[in-house]
Chain A
Amino acid sequence: MDAPSRRRFLAVSGSAAATALMAAAPRLVRAQMIRTPLNNMPEAIKRITGGAPVTRGRVTLDIPPLVENGFLVPMSVSVDSPMTSADHVKAIHVFTERNPLPETVSFHLGPRAGRAFVATRVRMADTQNVTAIAHLSDGSFWSDSVHLIVTLAACLEELPVSASP
């Protein structure tokens, strides 16, 4: 049969493109290898919750999804809570997936806070997920997670010799 030229062209060019992709693949893999490793975030969360279930919701973690400077990332956490003595947020914990330590900050508040809102500035060592967990007065845990992309990482640079202690 006569080869339908368009079909042949697509088949040949398609396989050429696939071959080119395969050749590029090792470079992509190497780019992944230099990421900072995962820390033990699940264990750190378990130490806080004692193994109790953590439900997604009620918590809003506000952090920029694209970070230019990992040394100074503004972050705020708010929780949907009436903040009365019967129903309030006892603590808010923030964890990172790829910083050297998963624990980032813990806030302890209570009904006298009036509003379940805290803000600070954190360091981010790599592109990663950040999780905020709220511990409510009824013993339940609620969370929110944000994936953020970091272009300049914190924590990993060296100091000039003259600045060493």
Chain B
Amino acid sequence: MSGNVRVDVPKTARKGEVIEIKTLAAHGMETGFRRTYLGAPIPRDIITTFTCAYNGVEVFRAELHPSISANPFLHFTTVATESGTLEFRWTGDQGHSASASAQITVT
């Protein structure tokens, strides 16, 4: 596990409630289309995939491209089905990998 990431998940929810999840990952998202002043191309270095698993079952996935802003922000929803863990994973170019998890109590 590495990388500086933030996740916002409600700590508690009622069963069946739709909860909102916001995530932010610190990453420059270098597009691969830019050059230095000397004309040398700057290689692409982006986060390509984000996944969210709820107690081990994938509930959301995003494929990111160079058009996504630096420090990718993602906002999505899921149904609070049971108490447990939400696991978030970001993977990308040049072996980039970051993860985070959050506990939720469903009543």
Residues in A lying within 8 Å of B, measured CB to CB = 71-73, 76, 96, 99-101, 103-110, 112-115, 117-124, 155-161, 163-165
Q: How far is the CB of A76 from chain B (nearest CB, A)?
A: 7
Given A114-B18, A159-B37, A164-B38, A104 and B67 touching (CB < 8 A)? Answer: yes
Q: Does the CB pair A72–B77 fall under 8 Å?
A: no
For B38, what are the chain A residues with a Cβ–Cβ distance below 8 Å? 161, 164
For A160, what are the chain B residues with a Cβ–Cβ distance below 8 Å? 36-37
Residues of chain B at interface, number, CB under 8 A: 35
* Dominant SS among interface residues on chain B: strand
Q: How far is the CB of A86 from chain B (nearest CB, A)?
A: 15
For B11, what are the chain A residues with a Cβ–Cβ distance below 8 Å? none
The CA of A109 and the CA of B42, in the complex, are separated in Å by 33
Q: Does the CB pair B65–A101 fall under 8 Å?
A: yes
For B68, what are the chain A residues with a Cβ–Cβ distance below 8 Å? 104-105, 120-123
Q: Map CB proximity to A onto B66-101 as digits: 1 under 8 Å, 0 otherwise.
A: 111110111111110100000000000000000000
Answer whether residue B62 sits at the interface, using C-beta atoms and an 8 A cutoff: yes
Q: Does the CB pair A121–B78 fall under 8 Å?
A: no
